[in-house]
Each structure stands twice: as structure tokens, then as C-alpha cells.
């Protein structure tokens, strides 16, 4: 069989990278649960009509069809491109069994038909949190979401050495109210152009607003001026008001965004009024998150408030959510060696086998070590001890156990008598450690 060619956009980590990913997920899940979020998992496929019903995302969907389907069968299912749409379906389907506000987290793969490039993949792992209410959801939950995100990124930095991150926040009510105050009847079209601010710059956005939407130059200029406002305190409110636009929805959005920035009280939460979010189901606060020092990757975590994504026609389930792009964060860091694991296997000890008739004794030693939570391998074949030590070195295993009562740290060369029923390695050696590279 010929060597298989890798599929572009479908990243696969080597064992050391997978250890990093698992440690990250442990912290993410633990932090979510500390904030009271319960875990769920949804199916990988959804009806195409559900996946394509909100936003301009049809081109992103991978269609699913049986290999032996009849020629006239049409594909009706697609792989989910995010976790929000399937979660909305989940809430509608199971509402009678949920207590609201319902707080969920979800860690699953998603699929998008995008052009692969650094930070963008066709298959990747996301970790989402959402708070969903029944008929209404208090605005203070919009403030709660970035506090969870700050905790996650803070722990990932402090415990694993990942880069810090800054959350950029805006409010769609603020933007829409501002545009309506200028007499613009279709704010969504302006939002779509303003969302390109970072990619093409303010002058190009101004040209789009005048050339494509027919806005007067003075109106387009004020839209661009709004997008240029940012700050990590409430001073942005005065800057917006200085633009001389009035609208009730604008005032509501200003109040909500000011509260979020005030409560967060962190230099890592910044009011950024050019943040719009492309999907059209967001109705209030929106979030975009950038790794400090790696902003060119674009947003690695995002979300916002949605008031009408889930509804059965009688009851509406508004919510606010946030999605961590786990693969998007980790794949470039791992590929560049900026974060790695101290070894690629969980094993802390290799039990040597000097002859095959001693293998059962070696297995018994390994069992005593494992009974106390120490990860152990038994040598795959009887061999000279020097060769077994070199085997352990290649696998990154720090200790080799000889016979019944002797263990050697192969890094320092120190060998001591030990009892397999009581000996413990140093805590730093029990499991592979995640370390920041250069």
C-alpha cells in the first residue's frame, strides 16, 4: 500500500500534541463546571434545512449521504458547522426535561468546507458554553460569559503556559441603534461591511458603505468613526455620544456594554465597536477573542447574545453563548513548538524483563505500581538492561524498574532500592507535563 497523503484541513496531533490537547480540555471542562455548566453531547448531523436557516453559511456545510443511496435520493443531512445550531434544536426537543436558565457546555468536533490555512480547518474541536432562558433571559448573563472565558484563558496561561488572550466586546443594539439614528433602514447590511474593518481598513469600509449601500459620505464617515472606538473602561460611552447620534436602542446597547466592561474590570476585556460577528442571529452582546501576540490568526473564540435562535412558535428560548476554537488555538502553537509535553507517553516507569521466564514477576510489579496510580509499561521483550534503558529513553520514560526492588532514574543515573507497594516518583514525573517552548 502506498504511503497515504494527508488531507488538508484535517489536523492530527502526534502523541505529545494530543497530551497537550487533553490537558487543555481538562482545564476547560473543570472551569466550565466550576461555573455551574452541565455537559451535553449532540449528534454529528442535522437536517440541512436547519443548518442553512440562519446566516450566510450554506457554502460551509458538508453534506451526508449514504453510499448506496438511490440516484434520485437527495441529501437531507449535513455535518454541523458549529455547536450553536444543534444546541438550539436540542433545547427545543428536550425543553420539557430542562430547568431554565439552562447552563450547558459541549466539547465536540465540527466541520466546515473552508479553504484550509493556518488557524482555519475543515475539521476541528470546539468547546462551547451557553446560558438559555425560557421566554426571557436577564442581561446580566451577557456579563457572566466573558468572566468564564477570562477564567479559562487565565488558567491555561498560568498552568500550561499558553498565551494570554484579550476579549473584544460590542453590542449589536448599540450598533443597530446608532445606524438607525442616522436614518439607515437596513442596519444588517452595514454590520456586514463593518465586520471587514480589520481585514480591509476604515477607508475601504467607507467606500463599501457609499458605493454598495449608497450611503451619503457624511453618514458613512460616522459609521466608520463608531467602528474606530475602543477602550478597556467606560470612557467609550462618551466617545460614542460625541458623534451626535441619538436612538433608544443605542442607549440600551451603551448601558449593557458599559456594565459588561465595568464588571469584568480587566485589561483583557476591551470594548471594540467594530466587532459585528457575521452570523445574523446575534441580537445583543457579541464577543471576539484574540491571542495576545498572535492576533494575525484572527479570532480564536467568539459568541454573543441571540434572542430568537430557538423557538417552537409558542415559546422562545433566548440565550447567550461563547465558543472556544480549541484546535484553532492549539494547532499553530503545537506545530511551531511553542507548547509541548515533556514526554509522549503517560508511562512513568518501564519494568525491565531480563528473561521471558521472569515476565510474570515483572507483570506483578507493574500491577502493584498501577494500583497506586502510577502509569507503567512492561518491557516488550527480554533483553540486555542497557538496551531496555535506551528503549525507555526513546519513549521518554524517566524510570526503569529492575527485578523486585530496584528502580533507576535514567536521567540522573541514580538507582535505589524500592518497594513496588510504596514507592512513588516525584509528582512532576507521575504524568507528562505541558511546557511552553521557545
User: Which residues define the annotated binding site for L-histidine?
Assistant: 82-84, 112, 126, 130, 277, 281-282
Instruction: Please give the Cα distance from 143 to 320 (Å, whole number).
Output: 10
- 3-state secondary structure (DSSP) of residue 353: coil
Q: Which residues contact 129 (CB under 8 A, 6 or more apart)?
A: 32, 35, 37, 103, 104, 105, 145, 148, 321, 322
Length, in residues, of the chain? 438
Instruction: Enter the DSSP assignment of 18.
Output: H
Q: Report the alpha-carbon distance of residue 430 to residue 375 in Å, rounded.
A: 7
DSSP 64-99: E--TT--TTPPP-EEE-SSSHHHHHHHHHHHGGG--
Cβ neighbours of residue 368 closer than 8 Å, sequence gap 6 or more: 420, 421
Instruction: Give, for 334, the enclosing helix (H) or strand (E).
Output: helix 326-335
Residue 113 DSSP symbol: -
With a CB cutoff of 8 Å and minimum separation 6, the contacts of 149 are: 165, 167, 287, 289, 301, 322, 324
291-299 own/partner pairs: CB under 8 Å, 24+ apart: 291/163, 291/164, 291/165, 291/329, 292/163, 292/164, 292/165, 292/166, 293/163, 294/163, 294/332, 297/118, 297/119, 297/328, 297/332, 298/119, 299/325
Per-residue exposure over 377-387, b if at least 16 CB sit within 10 Å of its own CB, e if not: bbbeeebeeee
Concatenating the DSSP letter of every residue in 145-168 gives: HHHHHHHHHHHHHHHH-PPPEEEE
Strands of 312-386, DSSP E? 316-325, 339-341, 349-351, 376-378
Distance CA 39, CA 45 (A): 19
User: Which residues are annotated binding-site positions?
Assistant: 82-84, 112, 126, 130, 277, 281-282
How far is the C-alpha of 145 from the C-alpha of 72, rounded, in Å?
46
Instruction: Provide the β-strand partners of residue 130.
Output: 104, 321
Cα distances (angstroms) measured from residue 62 to each of 46, 113, 115, 127, 384: 11, 6, 13, 20, 54
Q: How many CB atoms lie within 10 A of CB 110?
A: 24
Amino acid at each position: 500500500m502506498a504511503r497515504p497523503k494527508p488531507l488538508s484541513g484535517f489536523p492530527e496531533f502526534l502523541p505529545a500534541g494530543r497530551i497537550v490537547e487533553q490537558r487543555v480540555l481538562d482545564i476547560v471542562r473543570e472551569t466550565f463546571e466550576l461555573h455551574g455548566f452541565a455537559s451535553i453531547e449532540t449528534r454529528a448531523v442535522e437536517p440541512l434545512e436547519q443548518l442553512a436557516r440562519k446566516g450566510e453559511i450554506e457554502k460551509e456545510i458538508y453534506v451526508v449521504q449514504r453510499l448506496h443511496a438511490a440516484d434520485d435520493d437527495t441529501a437531507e443531512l449535513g455535518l454541523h458547522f458549529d455547536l450553536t445550531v444543534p444546541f438550539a434544536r436540542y433545547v427545543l426537543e428536550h425543553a420539557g426535561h430542562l430547568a431554565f436558565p439552562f447552563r450547558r457546555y459541549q466539547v465536540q468536533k465540527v466541520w466546515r468546507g473552508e479553504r484550509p490555512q493556518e488557524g482555519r480547518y475543515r475539521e476541528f474541536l470546539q468547546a462551547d458554553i451557553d446560558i438559555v432562558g425560557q421566554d426571557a433571559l436577564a442581561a446580566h448573563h451577557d456579563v457572566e460569559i466573558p468572566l468564564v472565558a477570562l477564567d479559562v484563558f487565565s488558567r491555561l496561561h498560568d498552568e500550561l503556559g499558553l498565551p494570554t488572550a484579550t476579549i473584544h466586546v460590542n453590542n449589536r443594539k448599540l450598533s443597530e441603534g446608532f445606524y438607525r439614528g442616522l436614518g439607515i433602514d437596513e442596519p444588517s447590511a452595514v454590520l456586514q461591511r463593518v465586520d471587514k474593518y480589520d481585514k480591509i481598513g476604515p477607508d475601504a469600509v467607507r467606500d463599501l458603505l457609499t458605493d454598495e449601500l449608497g450611503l451619503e459620505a457624511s453618514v458613512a464617515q460616522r459609521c466608520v468613526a463608531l467602528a474606530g472606538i475602543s477602550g478597556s473602561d467606560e470612557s467609550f460611552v462618551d466617545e460614542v455620544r460625541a458623534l451626535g447620534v441619538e436612538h433608544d436602542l443605542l442607549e440600551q446597547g451603551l448601558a449593557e456594554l458599559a456594565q459588561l466592561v465595568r464588571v469584568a474590570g480587566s485589561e483583557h476585556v476591551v470594548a471594540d465597536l467594530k466587532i459585528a460577528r457575521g452570523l445574523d442571529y446575534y441580537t445583543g452582546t457579541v464577543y471576539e477573542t484574540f491571542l495576545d501576540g498572535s492576533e494575525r490568526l484572527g479570532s480564536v473564540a467568539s459568541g454573543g447574545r441571540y434572542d430568537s435562535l430557538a423557538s417552537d412558535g409558542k415559546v422562545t428560548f433566548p440565550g447567550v453563548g461563547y465558543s472556544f476554537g480549541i484546535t484553532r488555538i492549539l494547532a499553530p502553537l503545537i506545530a511551531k513548538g511553542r507548547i509541548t509535553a515533556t514526554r509522549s507517553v503517560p508511562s512513568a516507569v518501564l519494568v525491565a524483563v531480563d528473561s521471558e521466564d521472569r515476565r510474570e514477576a515483572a507483570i506483578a510489579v507493574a500491577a502493584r505500581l498501577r494500583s497506586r496510580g502510577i502509569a507503567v509499561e512492561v518491557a516488550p521483550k527480554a533483553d540486555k538492561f542497557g538496551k531496555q534503558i535506551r528503549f525507555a529513553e526513546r519513549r521518554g520514560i524517566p524510570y526503569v524498574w529492575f527485578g523486585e526492588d530496584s528502580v533507576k532514574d535514567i536521567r540522573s543515573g541514580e538507582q535505589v532500592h524500592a518497594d513496588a507497594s510504596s514507592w512513588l516518583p516525584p509528582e512532576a514525573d507521575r504524568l507528562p507535563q505541558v511546557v511552553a517552548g521557545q
